[in-house]
Amino acid sequence: MTGEAGTDAPTRLAASLRDVAVTVAREAAELVRTTTATRGVEVAATKSSAVDVVTEADRASERLLRRRLAELRPGDGVLGEEEGDVAGTTGVRWVVDPVDGTVNLLYGIPEYAVSVAAEVDGVVVAGAVVDVPHGHTHAAARGLGATRDGVPLRVRPTVPVPQRLVLTGFGYLAEVRAHQGACVARLLPRVRDVRRLGSCALDLCHVAAGLADAYVEQGPRPWDWAAGSLVVEEAGGRFARLPGLGPEEPGTGAPSPVLVAGPADGFDELVGLLAETGFLAVVE
């Protein structure tokens, strides 16, 4: 991208990692498209509950991502949704979601993505989210902005809370859904409207593109949000993981964190509203 040649070493590395993320995410998205077009969508397994499914496309996509990253960036670590965490030796770790929005894929709803992010010493510095059905590529490198199909992204100008369109999502465990539903019921009368589209990665990119005013969801994993969070930040927004209320996450003794994203201006007001409506345990 223009203007990157004279930047410092960390920024050049971020740009290089972004380009790798775009390359492998596009390749995986094409694999998902061709696999589902020729073979249909085959459920391979379930995870946290009977409605939390894994398809053969998820598995094939992650295998491709791991193979290509090993070829392009030997020695880097990889954390993936389906095959777990493999340590590296370079200080770079890739965080990949082979299909974010698998239930949408299963039902033929055109809202799912491949998400690929790169961390350096634990900080996300580059990422790409490819909208599989529509072919759009969202990309970001820390300090270099965010784009969709090469066009710079910018969050919407901040509007009063009652005029904000909020994106959200729900977990797969019944007790978690009950809590989330109650929070949304309290939020709904206080904002313009609430949408549930089914892909955390794309929801974050939609906020970055100005297609919504905010995003809130409890429970998504790092592979869901790593790339999209940077796209939001580089588009002029803020992203945070904040302490949540509700049922404890199994094995942790505490509720899952709540993801919050929106324009930087008015972000604290959004966080206050989410605390008042029961999403958040504390206001930060």
Of the listed ranges 54-58, 156-160, 237-241, the least confidently predicted one is 54-58
Average pLDDT over residues 34-50: 65
Per-residue pLDDT at 284? 45
What is the pLDDT confidence band of residue 83, given thresholds at 50, 70 and 90?
confident
Range from 201-210, 241-250, 268-277 carrying the lowest mean pLDDT = 241-250
Q: How many CA atoms lie within 13 A of 123 on its CB side?
A: 10
% the chain with pLDDT above 70: 91
211 token code pair: 């297609």
How high is the pLDDT of residue 51? 46
Domains of the chain and CATH, by start:
9-152 (3.30.540.10), 161-276 (3.40.190.80)
Say if residue 53's pLDDT is above 90.
no
Question: What average pLDDT is seen over the chain?
Answer: 92
Query: Rounded to an integer, what distance in angstroms lies between the CA atom of residue 16 and that of residue 88?
Result: 18
CA dihedral of residues 170, 176, 179, 183 (deg, nearest 10): -30
Per-residue pLDDT at 221 exceeds 90: yes
Q: Pick the residue with more confidence: 266 or 282?
A: 266
In SS3 terms, the chain reads as CCCCCCCCHHHHHHHHHHHHHHHHHHHHHHHHHHHHHHHCCCEEEECCCCCCEEEHHHHHHHHHHHHHHHHHCCCCEEEECCCEEECCCCCEEEEEEEEECHHHHHHCCCCCEEEEEEEECCEEEEEEEEECCCCCEEEEECCCCEEECCEECCCCCCCCHHHCEEEECCCCCHHHHHHHHHHHHHHHHHCCEEEECCCHHHHHHHHHCCCCCEEEEECCCHHHHHHHHHHHHHCCEEEEEECECCCCCCCCCCCCCEEEEEECCCHHHHHHHHHHCCCECCCC
Give 2's pLDDT tier (boundaries 50, 70, 90).
Answer: very low
The predicted-structure confidence for 25-39, as pLDDT tens digits, reads as follows 999 999 999 988 766
User: Rounded to an integer, what distance in angstroms lies between the CA atom of residue 74 and that of residue 158?
Assistant: 43
Q: In the predicted model, what is the mean pLDDT of residues 171-178?
A: 91
Is the pLDDT higher at 283 or at 253?
A: 253
Residue 62 pLDDT > 70, yes or no? yes
